[in-house]
Amino acid sequence: MSQRRFHLINLALGLLLMSGSLYSGERRPTAEPGVYDSLVVLGQSAAFTGPAAALGTEFRRGAMLYFDYINGEGGVHGRNIMLVSIDDGYEPDRTVVNTERLINDDHVFGLFGYIGTPTSKAALPLVDKYQVPFIAPFTGAELLRTPTNHNVFNLRASYGQETDAMVEDAVRAGLNNIAVFYQDDSYGKAGLTGVQNALEKRNLALSTTATVERNSIDVAEAVKRIKAADPDAVMMISAYSSCAEFIRRAKSEGIDARFYNVSFVGSKALATDLWLDGRGVVVSQVMPFPGDLDVPVVKEYNALLQRFAPQSPISFGSLEGFIAAKVFVKGLQDAGRDLTRERLVAAFESFGEFDVGGFKINWDPTQHQGSELVNITVIGDNHRWLY
């Protein structure tokens, strides 16, 4: 069966599920939420509209590439995987409403691929209340890592690890006057704390800070404040639209600094938005380079793209969704046919040091951090990524 047909079936099943049409006679005797005789249902609240839309869109595209492939091969223990995705526009209040709906109305088995720190933070009380697995959130926030949450399984490196690598790169280049531009919410503050810790470790002081509101590109005051400090480097903790606007304005104002971004910025969207202003902008990455065919999981990702979606461009975001889907499938396989949420958690915690085709994660009962991979990349000419 073709990838396109499976994708259409997945969408149709999603519409039926959300309308309640699938419930009659489909539930297994255990009544485990989201588990049917031939189906397991995941839920996702993510940004599919607004200034952060590319993040949710790319992650879901990569995840669906792998899920649709697995469904085409017969699923896992005879069950297809369905991902019900709802737009939250990167707004926490909408995330709460979506999560309540996914858990109580759609009765999903687990929550997968939430996009962002403030949105994931908003969902956590519901994750804890209903004891729902929360898998591969697209954020490096410490609040999802410490203390270890029984239901939360992180795939990517933390913002502390990313910002430490960014500061190290700047200091090695002799850039010691460092400012921070950050989104004024839990995401931005997590990144700010990471930069402050990295500077303190190197006996350096933070030059200045400036903020932007979430889902806003009103950066005029931030540019003015940063310019007054005349920094060598600016660490940026926001989404691609505000970061791109800041960089453009900063360059036009004559700020001669190196601009650093954490991976959440959305590399592909940032480079596209900046166009010619992107040259020399630094982005830390927590996934392998999506064109590096020497990495087995990347080779598999590219092969499936060529087979099923040859017009889709490669990206760090869609690769992360692909790897997250692959890890989830491994958990389903290990959990067995008699599937429950607790059996999935136990399967994840039994991974230990697990190599996902050249991308290593480490989950056990004491920590659910996942990967520690951080690479420093630079936007070169014609949107080429340099290492």
- Segment 367-377 mean pLDDT: 95
Helices (H), 179-295: 186-201, 220-229, 240-252, 267-274
Q: Where are the domains of the chain?
A: 3-156+292-363, 159-285
Q: What pTM was estimated for this model as a whole?
A: 0.90
Q: How many residues does the chain have?
A: 387
Closest CA to 258 of 382, 169, 163, 196: 169
Fold: same for 3-156+292-363 and 159-285: yes
Residue range 114-132, pLDDT digits in tens:
999 999 999 999 999 999 9
CB 262 within 8 A of CB 237: yes
- Please give the angle made by the CA atoms of 135, 56 and 196, to the nearest 5 degrees: 75
d(CA 378, CA 255): 18
Could you tell me which CATH number the domain at 159-285 has? 3.40.50.2300
Q: Match domain 3-156+292-363 to its CATH number in 3.30.365.10, 3.40.50.2300, 3.30.565.10, 3.40.50.150.
A: 3.40.50.2300
Residue range 7-42, pLDDT digits in tens:
444 444 444 444 444 434 454 445 799 999 999 999
- Segment 72-81 mean pLDDT: 97
- Segment 150-163 mean pLDDT: 97
**Which residue(s) pair with 367 in the sheet?**
364
Residue range 169-222, pLDDT digits in tens:
999 999 999 999 999 999 999 999 999 999 999 999 999 999 999 999 999 999
